[in-house]
Amino acid sequence: MNTEILGVIFMYALVVALAIPLGRYIGKVFSYQNTWLDKIFNPIDKLFFKLSGINPEKEMNWKQHLVALLTINLVWFLVSMFTLMNMSWLPLNPDGNPSMSADLAFNTSVSFVTNTNLQHYSGETSLSYLGQLILMLWQFISAGTGIAIGAVVFVAMKERTTEKLGNFYSFFVRSCTRILFPLAMIGATILVLNGSPMTFKGKATTTTLEGATQQISRGPVAAFVIIKQLGTNGGGFYGPNSTNPMENPNYLTNIVETASIFLIPIAMIFAFRFVIRRKKLAWTIFGVMTTGFLLLVIPSIFSEMNGNPAIAHMGIQQNMGSMEGKEVRFGPAASAYWAVNTTCTSNGSVNAMHDSMMPITGMAALLGMMVNSFYGGVGVGFLNFYIFIIIAVFISGLMVGRTPEFLGKKIEAKEVKIAMIIALLHPFFILVGTALASYLYVGNPAEYAGWLNNPGYHGFSEMLYEFSSASANNGSGFEGLGDNTMFWNVSTGLVMLLARYLPIIGPVAIAGILAAKKYIPEGAGTLKTDTGTFGLMIFAVMFIVVALSFFPALALGQLAEYFTLY
């Protein structure tokens, strides 16, 4: 069998094989059961709480959780703004890179604190090492925020009636130290042993084979790269992310980095199984997510491996497939696979340029972000999926004429309203944003000529992609878009903010309200939510919401491009 396809199958098998035990471990971490890492982390966590003046045993209701989350995120935003706007004189700046402008610093700070990591700058020319390190910190703790809030929803779904849902700070610190930190240590070690730089020296200057001078950017790359992969962050050290041979030197590191994208999002499903003890429901969720993922990834891999018909027309050989924007050491299969991984989760790192991919792959990447819950971001992907579950429960309840119930709690008007609003916000941000940008561009193409790197349908897709990426808190881009301008920095910054916090507030509110309701044991009249039929129902709800919202936009961009090429 083709070694490229074999590589892709191996990566998926590896990640599921690792995610099952990891999910069990994560479940134990949030159930406060003993694990073999306690010896190391009990004292570390204690020190964290002591130095922060926090009592980790004080239980919070859902509102207190949200206030704690939003407050600490605000602190991070302010620290980030200050650092990025003052890098030029702060320490650790051997290459003498400048400070950021206010609008770029706003966009970048929002981007990293919200776990999006859209990058309107290029790391090697726009950040000092202090800037890189502070962004690395956000990659840890914004991911920790997502996992912690996911844990709150898990705990709320247990079979009992309560307002007390654990302590936010405790979940948060545990997510960072016991889950992200050990995984990052392992991954960074593999990267550094494979030639990823880890140094505080500035650029290296060398002479090439042909006698030209070449400057090579370095830095604390290995430590940075692994956490951007693990935390569904995606903000690269270098401008072109993991295409850069320093970030991703060979196929082994590519396996490690690709596996890291899916690892925690899939493990969260098994953590859910462990916390609420519903094996069949967890597998139903896994089944729906996996089906969606496969439907996107298989056509993408085929379309990249088949090459670009416009280039085939010129009469040259495309044995490897489409190679524009791709690296020979990964090949088209692993590049397409990464592209769909990174957009199904809200990761957004890349190992090939999405802008140069075939229309089908570009569309799969867009759809991954539009659904945003085929595995999804760490913690928050599950929250997005939870919204679809609530809607599916409600609709199925109407169809069979039973009171909608989920895990022994009645779903009533208030919860369904919240779920509908959250489900529709995402298309709203994407479509309104794209419409506004298109309106501006068409009204004055001369003034905005710097925006689009490609004409026609593909140019439209560049704008659609940017807003999809911002609203999905993804961070990848059709990078041809000239996005470091006031309009893009501010508009996508606002979208990222709203699209991060509202979809956290909504599900947590629903889960909190449901947790406080009376627990009704399942009876003969209860709608079963852990069957294949119900899985199909969830899938249908997702399909309808996404297809109705986005089909026209996709038809104008990627589909139109497909039909011009083929």
DSSP string, 517-540: SPP----TTSPPSSSHHHHHHHHH
- Shortest distance in whole angstroms from residue 274 CB to other proteins: 26
Nearer to other proteins, 216 or 421 (CB): 216
Q: Torsions phi, psi of 491, nearest 5?
A: -65, -45
CA distance 174 to 178: 5
Nearer to other proteins, 307 or 377 (CB): 307
- Shortest distance in whole angstroms from residue 530 CB to other proteins: 36
- Shortest distance in whole angstroms from residue 340 CB to other proteins: 16
Please say whether the beta carbons of 304 and 318 come within 8 A: no
Nearer to other proteins, 7 or 404 (CB): 7
Angle in degrees, CA 481, 485, 490, rounded to 5: 105
Q: Of 32, 196, 62, 224, which is closest to residue 127 (Cα–Cα)?
A: 224
- Shortest distance in whole angstroms from residue 310 CB to other proteins: 5
Nearer to other proteins, 184 or 419 (CB): 184
Q: Which residues contact 190 (CB under 8 A, 6 or more apart)?
A: 252, 253, 256
Nearer to other proteins, 328 or 413 (CB): 328
- Shortest distance in whole angstroms from residue 12 CB to other proteins: 12
Nearer to other proteins, 374 or 562 (CB): 562
- Shortest distance in whole angstroms from residue 276 CB to other proteins: 28
Residue type, 358: M
Q: Which residues contact 125 (CB under 8 A, 6 or more apart)?
A: 97, 239
Handedness of CA 9, 14, 20, 22 (dihedral sign): negative
Nearer to other proteins, 314 or 413 (CB): 314
Please say whether the beta carbons of 246 and 238 come within 8 A: yes
- Shortest distance in whole angstroms from residue 111 CB to other proteins: 18
Q: Torsions phi, psi of 55, nearest 5?
A: -95, 105
CA distance 193 to 188: 9
SS3 label, residue 320 = coil
